[in-house]
Amino acid sequence: MEVHKGLADVVVSETSLSAIVEGQLSFSGYNIDELVEKDASFEEIIFLLWNSRMPSREEFAQLQHDLHTHMALSESVIACLKIQCRQNLHPMSVLRTTVSLLGVFDPYAEEMDERSVYIQAISIQAKIPTIVAAFARLRKGLDPIAPREDLSFGANFLYMLTGEEANPDLVRAYNHCLVLHADHDLNASTFTARVAASTLTDVYSCITGAIGALKGPLHGGANERVFDMLSEIAESDTRDVAGYLKTKLDNKEKIMGFGHRVYKTEDPRKKHLKRMAKELTQEFGKEDLYDLSCEVEDYLLKEKGLIPNVDFYSATVYHCFGIEHDLFTLLFSMSRVSGWLGHVFEQKREATLIRPRSKYVGPVNLTYIPLSEKETIGGNAQ
């Protein structure tokens, strides 16, 4: 049996959602560069990933209506969020548990017909921004802010964080982030969602599992670790980028935000995030953070040939939104859930259980000795 560590280069499914071909990323045939440069809305991308086509005006309006209808949280969910506002509980654990609770409170969570599954998906997609914003406020002792029906998906989230409408440039930048992070081939969290969906379990279970996978520092959690690294360098007495990174590399420590299993020359999402990082740091007077990020990028490229992935500059961009760094991966989740749900739909239609094999490398031909026949020392079986 040939073993592919980490399933590297193993193709396990077909999809019409996203593709990485010759270093280019596309969603159902639309190049990611064009979607960002022409300001495609995140709501359009949700529809695209769920239907493999762009919406008509009527379909777009209906999707917006459905999202707004399901965005508010019940008092029961808010009460559960308050309970989770304690130290040493990672916000991704809060999101994971709260999404699971949505299924507990949904009387139709076990229904598998097409309409019920769609409503479950809409509910999850719509409520995650509200969950994140409510939690961000509750842990500061502030009351949650209800969503508004007249704001877009991204604008609503930024509004629910502060109670004030964000400026159009910030909304546009956040919409770009949502589009860029929406889907990405068969990454770890998406694969987790598809494995769960292949068992024909409910949608809430699929997404709860995907969130658990995204939490890991080798996946979505990397952007949080990137900001920790930048902060350590910036707050040091010497601000010695080369010395800091050399020590990390000499100690065989992984540099978060660099390297990619698929991309070898450039992550196509990076250039957009780097541009946004430059623009936003200039707007908010945080140019030093952008300059520091560029120094880190230049050093690692020169010394190790390492390239930034989507997580590296997204950390700087998210910081400019005024969001605490331990919430960065939750922002990733708000976007990526659209892709997860698209893959759940696709996998359920395929109706094939994902069940790989493993190669056994443990001991063989051992002889079992019953406990009653083993020698005892001091009355204890050995």
Q: What average pLDDT does range 364-370 have in this prediction?
A: 95
With vertex at residue 350, the alpha carbon angle to CA 348 and CA 353, rounded to the nearest 5 degrees, is: 80
Residue 302: φ, ψ to 5°: -70, -45
**The total number of residues written for the chain in this structure:** 382
CB neighbour list of residue 194: distance below 8 Å, 6 or more residues apart: 13, 186, 343, 344, 346, 347, 354
Give 296's pLDDT tier (boundaries 50, 70, 90): very high
Q: Is residue 81 predicted with pLDDT exceeding 70?
A: yes
Q: Is residue 335 predicted with pLDDT exceeding 70?
A: yes
Active site residues: 260, 311
pLDDT digits (tens, 9 = 90+) for 218-229: 888 888 899 999
Q: Which long-range contacts (CB under 8 A, 24 or more apart) does 37-43 make?
A: 39/172, 39/175, 39/176, 40/179, 41/152, 41/153, 41/175, 42/152, 42/153, 42/154, 42/175, 42/178, 42/179, 42/182, 42/335, 42/338, 43/67, 43/152, 43/153
In percent, the amount of the chain with pLDDT more than 90 equals 82
Give 377's pLDDT tier (boundaries 50, 70, 90): low
Q: What average pLDDT does range 163-170 have in this prediction?
A: 94
Q: Is residue 381 predicted with pLDDT exceeding 90?
A: no
Q: How many CA atoms lie within 13 A of 326 on its CB side?
A: 12
CB neighbour list of residue 376: distance below 8 Å, 6 or more residues apart: 382
Q: What is the pLDDT of residue 3?
A: 77
Q: What is the pLDDT of residue 234?
A: 92
Q: Is residue 9 predicted with pLDDT exceeding 90?
A: no
Q: Is residue 380 predicted with pLDDT exceeding 60?
A: no
- Per the prediction, the chain carries an average pLDDT of 93
Q: Which domains does the chain show, CATH number per domain?
A: 26-219+327-350 (1.10.580.10), 222-320 (1.10.230.10)
Q: What is the pLDDT of residue 227?
A: 92
Q: Is residue 379 predicted with pLDDT exceeding 60?
A: no
Q: What is the pLDDT of residue 378?
A: 59
Q: Please list the alpha-helical segments (H only) found in the chain.
A: 32-37, 42-51, 57-69, 75-83, 91-105, 114-138, 153-162, 168-180, 188-198, 203-214, 222-235, 241-250, 270-283, 287-304, 310-320, 328-350
pLDDT digits (tens, 9 = 90+) for 51-76: 999 999 999 999 999 999 999 999 99
Q: Is residue 275 predicted with pLDDT exceeding 90?
A: yes
Q: Is residue 185 predicted with pLDDT exceeding 80?
A: yes
Give 2's pLDDT tier (boundaries 50, 70, 90): confident
Q: What average pLDDT does range 259-278 have in this prediction?
A: 90
In percent, the amount of the chain with pLDDT more than 70 equals 98
Query: Would you say 108 and 123 are in contact if contact means Cβ atoms under 8 Å apart?
Result: no
pLDDT digits (tens, 9 = 90+) for 128-161: 999 999 999 999 999 999 999 999 999 999 999 9
Q: Is residue 382 predicted with pLDDT exceeding 70?
A: no
- Most trustworthy range by pLDDT among 8-22, 29-43, 216-230: 29-43
Q: What average pLDDT does range 252-263 have in this prediction?
A: 86
